[in-house]
Amino acid sequence: MAETAFPLTKMNDDQELLLAEVRRFNEEIVRPRLAEMDREAKLDPLVLKHLFEMGLMGIDVPEQLGGSGMTFTDAILVIMELARVDPSVATVCDVQNTLVTNAIQRWGSEQQKKVYLPSLAANTVGAYCLSEAESGSDAFALRTRAVREAGKWRLNGNKLWITNGHEAGLFLVFANADPDKGYKGITCFIVSRDTPGFEIGKKEDKLGIRASSTVEIILKDVEIDDDRVLGEVGKGYKVAIETLNEGRIGIGAQMVGLAQGALDHATSWAKERQQFGRAIAGFQAVQFALATMDAKIEAARLTVLNAARRKEMGERFVREAAIAKWFAAEVADHCSSMAVELYGGYGFTRDYPVEKLFRDAKIGKIYEGTHFMQLQTIAKLLLAD
């Protein structure tokens, strides 16, 4: 059966207007604060304020629930555009849209949607708490426990590497409610920051995407009512797997945007930098380096948009999401590295923008499923056909 056509490279008028606003935001608000946010490892509050005011923290949340009422693909396009200037800002937007609001829209009850989605779209940052010290690629080796006592759930444990944790007011926390059942005991809980026993622990001092906070979460006898269970008890593994499949498309979008930003800088530099009496853009070696970057970015962009298309149309997309994340991370790694090389000694200093993008790119091969895990997923599905 033929697939429905989808314009992978042509955007509609609404998308063009949306991305024009994002570009303006990038240039007027983000870029002037870029170096300081990276140096201080802190997101500027004004940046976050504008993300909410522009409707970028609830892009595909229905309008009747306070969101922008757009699509998953619109969210992916916004993430790409944000990452051209600062992948840290793109990460904040990405986690909010592809993980947190996405999970609540898909798995939440009607009451949960009415309670949580309006605030997430308007003023509340969300965080997704799955990883632990012994639970990285082996995502279901959770030690955080949820025990049912006196009509409530009591959560105890530690979560690590939680993106948006410093700014977040709402957390999706995965815990095992029945360890004897293995991964089938895992349950997802909606936890507010001000819940007694809930603490923000160590903030990580990272190589890249430094303005995007990554923290430890400490749970000490955190009491949760039944109406804070997202989905069904024991079905948290489905929430995790299926949400992360969609989130990987967002990571692919981050990496495409980052690579495009690196190419933008490298192209401008090549036209300006003079050596041997002419701009280095006049040398074939430099031209070929830029052309290779451009071709790889276009290919990565199409893999990401294709995965988003399949997700929106209800088609199988797990393989495509894994390919998108894996390939886009490869491209970001290559393009950011090449940009540093084209800048020469200047590129190796923090006075020029490509050094930051080089550092930011490395996380693309690590979070929301490592490079090896994406290849494992691709191979598994390939061999199953």
pLDDT for position 2 = 35
pLDDT for position 10 = 65
- Domains, the chain, in order of start with CATH, read 13-125 (1.10.540.10), 127-234 (2.40.110.10), 238-384 (1.20.140.10)
Burial class (CB in 10 A: 0-12, 13-18, 19+), 361: buried
Whether the pLDDT of residue 333 is over 50: the answer is: yes
* Residues catalogued as catalytic: 368
Q: Which among 168, 238, 237, 161 is positioned nearest to 204, based on CA atoms?
A: 161
Q: What is the pLDDT of residues 31-84, one digit of tens each?
A: 999 999 999 999 999 999 999 999 999 999 999 999 999 999 999 999 999 999
As a whole number, mean pLDDT of residues 178-202 equals: 97
Whether the pLDDT of residue 114 is over 70: the answer is: yes
Whether the pLDDT of residue 344 is over 80: the answer is: yes
Sequence-distant (6+) residues with CB within 8 A of 184 are 178, 234, 237
Whether the pLDDT of residue 3 is over 70: the answer is: no
pTM: 0.95
pLDDT for position 164 = 97
Q: Where are the beta strands (DSSP E) in 65-168?
A: 126-129, 145-149, 152-163
Sequence-distant (6+) residues with CB within 8 A of 48 are 92, 125, 167
Measured CA to CA in angstroms, residue 112 lies from 104, 120, 185 at distances of 7, 12, 22
- In percent, the amount of the chain with pLDDT more than 70 equals 97
- 9 confidence band (pLDDT: 50, 70, 90): low
d(CA 381, CA 385): 7
d(CA 369, CA 351): 32
pLDDT for position 4 = 36
Lowest mean pLDDT among 10-19, 150-159, 200-209, 238-247: 10-19
Measured CA to CA in angstroms, residue 156 lies from 144, 199, 244 at distances of 6, 11, 23
pLDDT for position 7 = 40
